[in-house]
Structure 1
Amino acid sequence: MESSVVAAPSPLSPDAINQIKRLDLRARTVVRGFLQGLHSSPYHGFSVQFSEHRRYSRGDDPKTIDWLVYAKTDKYYIKRFEAETNLTGYLVMDLSQSMGFTHRQQMTKFEYSICLAASLCYLMQMQQDPVGLITFGEKVQASLPARSRRGHLADMLAHLTNLEPAGKTNLPACLNQVAAMLRQKGLVMLFSDLLGDPEPVFAALARLRHSGHDVILFHVLDEAEVHFPYDGPVEFEDPETGETLTVDASGFRADYLQNLADFQQEYRERCGNLRIDYVPMDTSMPFDTALTEYLISRQARF
């Protein structure tokens, strides 16, 4: 008789993290698990103090090599100057009603995005980087300035905890407003399901880049939006307009999946042209995947 072995869920999976009710504890668990995972990843060595060092490159002064880090990692790193290590981050959150959708997952797209944003905030505060928060629907609704002082993390997490998705969104207009608001260049981390016409979004993203900001675009979808696990006649409702549409899901699946693949590929290519990190993800994806994208972006910045 054959026995089947069921793999244990990832400790950083949404289902595992959802068992933790407080957002601050969720963020702490995600970040600590992520940093522990760096020991066995291609980024080994950055788990020590990855914000304070960068890889030694040809042309660097060998006198700047940190031999203590070499002893721990067997790799050459040099210590950055204080001006190099400073990174100002801005979390930009889509509050539209569509972000509250879920099919079978324990976390909605919005809850997933909030947990991811809180984790990034916690990680940046650990590295003493200023981080701020901007929320938007049809217009920018709230803005917390980027700070690194003690107590700011608690303010950020308290604000994130109290957010709720509601109403419609106007992503291009809000991104243009964000570009006009931000006086200091930094890393803009945008969380959205990107529902709507992409063309004006690309124009707004281009304005952010032309203003000197680095951008990571987290395209957050529900697992059902990615895999379309529906059969037979299904009625779908637009959460922002209330309009309904009944389709034969079985016959519609192939076209839907192809349209989604084309949509994501367009974002991937257009964002690549703008040197924006496009990160498609769904609500079943472990959180360390997104934090790895943050780390890669940070390395590429210097």
Structure 2
Amino acid sequence: MSNPLALRSDAEALAAPFPPLLADAEHLATTVLLGDHGRRRAGTGDTFWQYRPAQAYDDARGIDWRRSARSDSDFVQDKEWQIAQSIVLWVDQAASMGFQSDDHPTKAHRARTLSLAIAILLIRGGERVGLTGLRLPPRRGEAQLMRMAALLSEMEDIDYGAPEAQGMLPHSRALFVSDFLGDIKPVEAALLRAADRGVRGVILQVLDPQEEAFPFDGRTIFQSMTGAIQHETLKAGDLKKRYLDRLAERKARLQHLAQTTGWQFQTHHTGESAANALLWLYGALERHP
């Protein structure tokens, strides 16, 4: 028989990260002012978008006679397309995301907070949001946000993560958030699979400022977050150019992948404003029909 006190202690330890993460995401989400949600496409909805000349296939009941009276042609009102869309998120939970320098947040915390904040905005805008894979299919509602916060608080005991391409519905949208410092091939495979299904989305690379500056010199031991990979050098400064060249090459490859598959790419640093990153993310996802 299990010990109730031990069970409660384990449960409280497991749940501890959820409220702070959700609170941080809620606070960040308030920086984006949401108006009435519309997709700026003609379709089913209640909000007026534009007048257009009536076509042969338009029903006579759809003609706006008041607007038509001011012209020699008949006009109809187009409404904004307000059918809920599905958006799936992949947020890297591998050990490399736990890196931080100085007083900056970890890459994992920034990635989770931004992802949950965008989920809050999208769900409250009427969209269905979930995670890639089969653990959390896209749904609406506050309960979905709690489930997402719980899953995003987990970490994986591997150095680098790889995107999960399952669970992406045809013609839906997606957001991939990672440092993308591991093997690029799984990323390419996931994006190509998404493109084959008509999925469009955003790639957000989250890096620590130290990973951009490479401020190392002299004797240095470089070690992966799990300790599985280690490299010692007496002249770290000599590696700087090679490292920065490879980082630039990785960014260029991600940018090319995004352009090829119809996605958008951006790099965000943990020393920068999270609010600005959220605004960009929201706008980038909104631009995808």
- Normalised TM-score (structure 2): 0.73
- CA RMSD, 1 decimal: 2.8
Residues 213 and 275 of structure 1: CA distance in aligned 2, closer, same or farther (over 3 Å): same
Separation (CA, whole Å) in 2 of partners of 1:242 and 1:282: 25
Shift of 1:198: 2.2
Q: Partner of 1:197: helix, strand, or coil?
A: coil
Letter in 1 for 2:271: S
- Post-superposition CA distance 1:210-260 (Å, at most 9, x none): 111112111112221111122322110123462211232222222222221
8 Å Cα contact 1:221-1:281 kept in structure 2: yes
Q: Which of 150, 154, 167 matches 2:158?
A: 167
Q: Which of 112, 124, 127 matches 1:126?
A: 124
8 Å Cα contact 1:130-1:146 kept in structure 2: yes
- What residue in structure 1 maps to residue 71 of structure 2? none
- What residue in structure 1 maps to residue 276 of structure 2? 289
Q: Partner of 2:232: helix, strand, or coil?
A: strand
8 Å Cα contact 2:169-2:199 kept in structure 1: no
Shift of 1:159: 3.1
Separation (CA, whole Å) in 2 of partners of 1:88 and 1:292: 19
- What residue in structure 1 maps to residue 52 of structure 2? 61
Asked whether 1:151 is paired with 2:138, we answer: no
- What residue in structure 1 maps to residue 89 of structure 2? 91
Q: Partner of 1:61: helix, strand, or coil?
A: strand
8 Å Cα contact 1:105-1:283 kept in structure 2: no
Residues 101 and 170 of structure 1: CA distance in aligned 2, closer, same or farther (over 3 Å): closer
- Post-superposition CA distance 1:81-127 (Å, at most 9, x none): 333xx221111122211111122243111111111111111111210
Asked whether 1:235 is paired with 2:233, we answer: no
Residues 204 and 33 of structure 1: CA distance in aligned 2, closer, same or farther (over 3 Å): closer
Asked whether 1:246 is paired with 2:232, we answer: yes
Shift of 1:32: 1.0
8 Å Cα contact 1:223-1:283 kept in structure 2: yes
Greater Rg by CA: 2
8 Å Cα contact 1:54-1:299 kept in structure 2: no
Q: Partner of 1:152: helix, strand, or coil?
A: helix
8 Å Cα contact 1:209-1:215 kept in structure 2: no
Q: Partner of 1:195: helix, strand, or coil?
A: coil
Shift of 1:184: 4.8
Residues 61 and 298 of structure 1: CA distance in aligned 2, closer, same or farther (over 3 Å): farther
Identity rate of aligned residues, in percent?
Answer: 23
Q: Counterparts in 2 of 1:5-154, with a 5 A limit?
A: 22-35=20-33, 47-49=34-36, 51-52=37-38, 54=40, 61=52, 79-83=79-83, 86-134=84-132, 143-154=135-146
- What residue in structure 2 maps to residue 195 of structure 1? 181
Separation (CA, whole Å) in 1 of partners of 2:161 and 2:99: 18
Q: Partner of 2:138: helix, strand, or coil?
A: strand
Shift of 1:268: 0.9
8 Å Cα contact 1:100-1:165 kept in structure 2: no
Q: Which of 211, 229, 234 matches 1:225?
A: 211
Gaps of 5+ in 2: 1-18, 43-48, 54-62, 65-77
Residues 300 and 132 of structure 1: CA distance in aligned 2, closer, same or farther (over 3 Å): same
Letter in 2 for 1:154: M
Residues 99 and 298 of structure 1: CA distance in aligned 2, closer, same or farther (over 3 Å): closer
Separation (CA, whole Å) in 1 of partners of 2:274 and 2:268: 10
8 Å Cα contact 2:118-2:282 kept in structure 1: no
Number of corresponding residues: 242
8 Å Cα contact 1:52-1:79 kept in structure 2: no
